[in-house]
Structure 1
Amino acid sequence: MTQTAILIETTADSPSDSAAEPVALRLLALLPVHAVVWTIAAWLSRGNLDTQGDMVENYVWGIEWQAGYAKHPPLFAWITALWFRVFPHIDIAYFALSALNAMIGLLGIVALAGRFLPRRLAVVAGLAMAVSPLYSNLAIKFNANAVLLSVWPWTAYFFVRFMQTGGWRSALALGALAGAAVLGKYFSVVLLVALLVALFVRPVWRTRLLGWQSLLVAGAGLVILLPHVHWLVTHHFQTFGYAEQRTRGSTFLTAIGRYCIYTLAQIGYLLPSFGFVVLLVDKARLQAPKRMALNYVRPSTCPDLWWLALGPLMMVGAIAVAARTQMASVWGMAQWFALAPLWLVTLQHASVSLRVERAVRVLIVYWLLVLAGAAVAGYAGVRRNTDDAAEPRAELSAAANAIWKQRTGKADVPIVSGAVHEAQSFAFYTGRHTRYWDMASPQATPWLRVDDVQRQGALIICPGDDSRCNAEATALSVAQPVSLDIGKRAWGMTLPLRHYHLYLLPPALDDRWSIRQYIPRYGRLESQ
């Protein structure tokens, strides 16, 4: 163990830190408040869950309880399905899930920081990351990227705990969480490689490889991953094809340029957290930023944390440049779990004191600005009639469900299809066990076959101007579609009506439609 680590552990066990326990608890209570603020802010600013449709896609995947899906491994879809077995199918409940996921990740940062810092400073590390867009605005769209916010910090925590103690419980937890990280998104290989590199470059940590406990790490990870590995083999590695589509690269120089842009985006995401820590500095406020920034190139203060903080970024660069792949800045949103702890260790090593109680006032100002900005953004979106604000997804779902009941006499729609966002939104908002079938790319929803649609019946929803969707629906149903004009009210304003076509496919054989006429003509998956 390094000299710095010994000093920090002694400090953490000191009587002064025990006296500061109430301070740490009061600061920790700010994280649930932060989650509530961002739940309300998302509800104020957004007229729908997300314009890309990731969140309703999570839901329709999750209710099928598959070991894998066409685009991604299953963890975030399972979490979504579990959540909505308890909570109502409304936007604010989904935003609460997103905020809770981010809060769990922030608690993981606090736990990780606690291995190197006194408790009150460990909590400050979590609060500092809370104000970053990574754990706030970007985290509200719960998807394959956002789920890593909660998994990666806890994986790193149990990695450090295992390295420091060698305990078998830590080994099992590390293996299970490493497996869960891969089930969240294959990008988690970056984290695992970074942890492996950190293990080899730190001599004290390297000795853990020789212990029998390391077998528990591998065994636990394998147990978690086995069902998905079986699914991959059974489905001919379908998700790998999608990942290749999303990461297809070009030239070596282009890959380097994209990595530079990626890194600059990460710096931008981290600036609010950096500023938060600086605002808490009691004295030497001009020296503190310099010391924090210089520590990026001077790992000697706390090498353990340095490798955890910057290792993932280096691994991303090495893999992306070698594979000449495209990159999105949000892919790295979970990788900064150790950076705020590293800043605080640097300041503590330099004897720079922090007024941690100032964090309450800073966050109150931040929350007020967030809520005010969210209200302005939501109102402005309605005034401009943007798709995010004006698209009547919930209203369309309610109206379409009522028409189905009226025309068929059946309470529930067994299967829904059509335009992806509208159909998946219908399944989410009705909350009546409606399953989604992708009629354009049936291989994306293998849990339903064409004969299931014929036997059970289905509702197809298409925007009036979506010629592709209407052509596919016409190939299924010879009956005339039901035309529907529907809009929504928001912020006291009535938004323009939008035009839709509903195609009702009655269950069992019926002369109003013929399944034999259907031939899927489109095989492209929408991007997430």
Structure 2
Amino acid sequence: MALHVLAWVLAHGIADTNLDGYADMLENFAWGQHWAWGSAKHPPLFAWITGAWFLFLPHLDASYHLLSYLNVALALLGVYKVAQAMGRPDLALPSALLLCLAFPYSTLAVKFNANAILLSAWPWVVLAWVRCVSSQGRAGLVWSVSLGVISALSMLGKYYSGVFLLAVFLSSLASANGRRWFGSYKPWLTLAVFGVCLLPHLMWLQDHAWVTLRYVGEQASDDGVSWRMVLKFAISPLAYWLLPWLLCTWVYAPEATLRQRLSTWPQRLLSSWLPHGWDDTLFWIAMLPWMITLMFGISGFVELSIPWAIPIGYGFSLLWLRNLTQGAVEPNTALSKLRTCFLAWCLLVVLVSPWYAWHQAQNGTPNHYLPRREAAHALLATWQERYPNQTLRWVGGQWAENALLSFYGNPDLRVIPGVPDQFPATVTPLEGWQQQAGLLLCPLGPLNHPEPSTCEADMRAWLTQQGQTPEAIELTIASQGLRFPLHIPFAYIAFAYVPPKP
């Protein structure tokens, strides 16, 4: 886990000059400024984690990348523990090593958001569930409570966890032990703890007109089933987990000649996914999240999104290994090969990162040249020059790119989506904003390819409504240094809100 985290944090430190281009991670940071039980878009867990992280860590991209990959490490540890709990400690390490090569645990994991938090949440739910079913006495009580708490945390990560918890419920029915579990006190204690833990969030939702659930409902399509997205999601297990799947089915083959290994490879590719009867709990817990989601998409109940596939493969490697280690496979030899492949993978990731940085620089990739940190410092310096007697308290404007002022500049600035007296800023309102100086920021994009936006017109109109004359702060900023061989300036326009004199 340490090697995996180190390799990817180092690689992104070399290759990337910014956080994600969609500003998802800046959005998390902005939500993490207040410890509300919800937001206008998502439940609050990953915002809480981001807020707590940056109470202690410096506001650097590397710090954020470290958080992203520590989340992956926690996910891998959960899968490792699940293998042990299911009575297959021999598969614990290889299952985690294989997941290190899957895109959700490697390249995609750098973006810490609502999908990524489920990587670490779901395996621990499965662990608590397996232990709860198999434990008696005091241990059964402890694991029942733990299952309720961790399940609630999973829901507070993203409501999509409801599909996963449904998969756990159905998987419980697959085996005799699982069915007997429903006859004990344990699942009902778990359900009670789950409800108590979610109660504050439900109360928050009720107090805010169920705003988060309304946002979820708005994501549904009114145009019927999107068969293109259904097909994409259907093949997502192969797309996201292709490399470890191919590696697993190649390495875990009976010792034979190269020709024999190649000729039997297709059979192993198929058998790696197959169940061992209807009571195969491992198969159901590994595959049902994908199956249920796919059925929802086919029914038209939701419009599928490919990022939803990010957390679904936590059990894939364990399923493959269980199926492929039934024959004459020497486990120590196979594990040794996996270790070698993993170490080579980590080395390759680091060695490729300088080329990727050069590639982005030479191609003028916008996110590579985006001068977020420089813009934050320049805007704050301009504010100090123009309004030396006004302490800047909040920043509004274009969400969530406006959070750059707080993340890279002044962490005491409260970030507001849009303007402070309109939705969605009113979901978690800033009290007394009328008497606090603010800045309304509108990034305009690269100077030679401006991005279409109504932000500037909207901010001018709002300031006029407040009885203020919009005074624009216009800046053109370009990233400079050895990592930026091209000159690609970006334009920013901002407007000051100055509290009226009493």
TM-score, normalised to structure 1's length?
0.85
Aligned mate of 1:336, from 295, 300, 313: 313
Q: Deviations over 1:340-384 (max 9, x none)?
A: 111111222224223212233212221222223332222222222
Structure 2 distance, partners of 1:103, 1:215, is: 31
Counterpart selection for 1:499 from 491, 494, 500: 491
Q: Partner of 2:426 in structure 1?
A: 446
Q: What is the deviation of 1:119?
A: 3.2
Q: Distance between the aligned counterparts of 1:436 and 1:92, measured in 2?
A: 22
User: Secondary structure at 2:392's aligned position in 1?
Assistant: coil
The offset of 1:263, in angstroms, is: 1.6
Counterpart-to-counterpart distance in 2, 1:467 and 1:192:
40
Once residues 177 and 342 of structure 1 are traced to their aligned partners in structure 2, the CA distance between those partners, rounded to angstroms, is: 23
CA distance in 2, matches of 1:78, 1:393: 23
The offset of 1:479, in angstroms, is 4.4
**Structure-to-structure mapping, 1:261-410, within 5 angstroms:** 261-281=232-252, 283-284=255-256, 285-286=261-262, 287=264, 290-291=267-268, 293-300=270-277, 303-354=280-331, 355=333, 356-409=335-388
Cα separation, partners in 2 of 1:247 and 1:299, compared to 1, 3 Å: farther
Q: Does 1:80 align with 2:50?
A: yes
Other-structure match for 1:471: 457
Match of 1:65 among 25, 31, 35: 35
CA distance, structure 2, for counterparts of residue 142 and residue 415 of structure 1: 24
Q: How does 1:211-230 map to 2 (within 5 A)?
A: 211-230=184-203
CA apart distance, 1:58: 0.5
Q: CA deviation at 1:216?
A: 2.0
Q: Equivalents in 1 of 2:125, 2:215: separation in Å?
A: 26
Report the equivalent of 1:460.
440
Instruction: Determine which of 59, 78, 82 is the counterpart of 1:108.
Output: 78
1:204 and 2:177 are equivalent in the alignment = yes
Partner Cα separation in structure 2 for residue 117 and residue 495 of structure 1 = 58
Say yes or no: does 1:168 pair with 2:150. no
Tell me, in whole angstroms, the C-alpha distance in 1 between the residues paired with 2:102 and 2:389.
48
SS in structure 2 of the partner of residue 299 of structure 1: coil
In 2: Cα distance, 1:472 partner to 1:87 partner: 35
Is the Cα contact below 8 Å between 1:481 and 1:501 reproduced in 2?
A: yes
Residue 396 of structure 2 is matched in structure 1 by 417
Task: Find the counterpart in structure 1 of residue 475 from structure 2.
Answer: 484
- Is the partner of 2:496 in helix, strand or coil? strand
CA distance in 1, matches of 2:279, 2:265: 16
Give me the identity figure in percent: 27
Correspondent of 1:97 among 38, 54, 67: 67
Distance 1:302 1:336, change over 3 A: farther
Contact 1:393 1:425 in 2 (8 A): yes
**Residue segments in structure 1 that go unaligned for 5+ positions in a row:** 1-30, 512-528
Amino acid at match of 1:150: S
The 1:450–1:193 alpha-carbon spacing in structure 2 relative to 1, beyond 3 Å, is closer
Which deviations, in whole Å up to 9, do the C-alpha atoms of 1:217-243 show, x marking residues without a partner? 112211221111011111111112211
- Gaps (5+ residues) in structure 2? 445-449
* Partners of 1:292 and 1:347 within 8 A in 2: no
Deviation, 1:156, is 0.9
Q: What is the distance in 2 between the residues matched to 1:132 and 1:102?
A: 11
Tell me how far 1:117 sits from its aligned partner.
5.0
Distance 1:38 1:357, change over 3 A: same
Structure 2 counterpart SS, 1:50: coil
Report the residue type matching 1:168 in the other structure. Answer: L
TM-score, with structure 2 as normaliser: 0.89
Would you tell me which structure has more helix in proportion to its own residues?
Answer: 1
- SS of the residue corresponding to residue 489 of structure 1 reads coil
Equivalent position of 1:37 in the other structure? 7
